[in-house]
Structure 1
């Protein structure tokens, strides 16, 4: 990882490509998923059969891209940003939560600014871990099961296995949708609302000097 003037190179090319493919895929899965969920209401100007085909095809693409992310985080330096550190976790989460609830609106500095060693604040980090290592795999597994229903147990405690799988798949999809909205909002927080969006395109994060840095310079 290299720094260039007031920029830090945080997003390697493979991660940026994956992020773009995954983001577009997730959005298409949400839209087509809504069409499938409300098949009788025609909430979207999309043929139901086309929505089914798109959902299945995009689901396969997102599944393959997930393995790129998973393997990339095993063999590249990016894995260090996802290391779990239990010691002092509650304190760090509380500190960041207080910043989002009040400090942010008072103009206070972020308690965990982005640096070469820390790409995410504590809340972001563990939200990403839950989503990328729990919710997304669960959505993939249940999606594959629905694509090949013969793999599903016929009944679970006298309830249709396909029904339970569909409910679980839809619920996880809803949680991922909520995460996406929050993710976009948090990405807009900063000195410039577009900084983080530019970063994921060019790979460089703009580092803005804090008040402490300015005092040191004086």
Structure 2
């Protein structure tokens, strides 16, 4: 997906158009990741005896789901860097105080959202910061400790007499709880759009109504007309 070279800030008075802002791969990645994370959470809690799925079956499903998620993350990391979409996760910190103020009490008072989604910047500063933390800290901690768990028979002799496995277990469990908290907050945030289902619908269809500059509208009409809804 080629981004149009525009300013990061587009006047809210620019004409709005319904545009596909999330590609098929972005939507596939999002929903596949969500399904795998829920599967891992359910089986993980079952392994610890908190849910009714049997231990052996839970371990098998958990292991295969973990491998699938690691493969998905590897392909998605490659996609982000080859398409330039990794820039979406670099937060504009100057706008963060206004975003925090809005979510702290402005949203309860019916204040307008201080951020306007654009073709180039789909996420506000708080979202970018949260996703960056998820992909750079929580995700790597989860899959690296998970790989260490899966390959424990290969390094068990080296770790004999140490607390290495306990440390791996602690990191994995802590990352799992952090990712669970992230998911809960993420689900709540999906209800804060124009309607409670607006953001979910956008991530299913890929389309949202956003302001477009003349340059962006001209570019899409000429080079990617399938992304514009008439």
TM beyond 0.5? yes
Q: Do the aligned partners of residues 119 and 151 (structure 1) sit closer, same or farther apart at CA in structure 2, a change above 3 Å counting?
A: farther
Matches within 5 A, 1:111-150: 111-149=114-152, 150=154
Residues 8 and 115 of structure 1 are in contact (CA less than 8 Å); yes or no, is this contact kept in structure 2?
Answer: no
Name the counterpart of 2:88: 81
Give the counterpart of 1:62 among 69, 89, 93. Answer: 69
Aligned residue in 2 for 1:93: 96
RMSD: 2.1
TM-score by length of 1: 0.83
Correspondence for 1:192: 195
- Residue 5 (structure 1) shift: 6.3
Taking the aligned partners of 1:180 and 1:147, their CA distance within structure 2 comes to 24
Query: CA separation of 1:84/1:105 partners in 2, compared to 1, >3 Å: closer, same or farther?
Result: closer
User: Aligned partners of 1:206, 1:188: CA distance in 2, in Å?
Assistant: 17
Q: How many residues align?
A: 197
TM value normalised by structure 2: 0.79
- C-alpha change, 1:100 and 1:5, in structure 2 (3 Å) is closer
User: Where do 4+ consecutive residues of structure 1 move more than 6 Å?
Assistant: none
Deviations 1:139-196 (A, max 9, x none): 11100000011347627xx751001100100000100000000001111111111111
The offset of 1:84, in angstroms, is: 5.0
Q: CA deviation at 1:207?
A: 4.0
Superimposed CA distance per residue, residues 36-81 of structure 1 (whole angstroms, 9 cap, x where no aligned partner) = 12x3xxx322111000000000000000000121011101142231
Alignment partner, residue 55 of structure 2 = 48
From the superposition, tell whether residues 45 and 82 of structure 1 become closer, same or farther in structure 2 (CA, over 3 Å): same
Q: Distance in 1 between matches of 2:203 and 2:35?
A: 14
Higher RCO (C-alpha 8 Å, min separation 6): 2
**Which residue number corresponds to residue 8 of structure 1?**
19
**Distance across 2 between alignment mates of 1:72 and 1:11:** 13
Secondary structure of 1:205's match? strand
The answer to whether the 8 Å contact 1:142/1:166 transfers is: yes
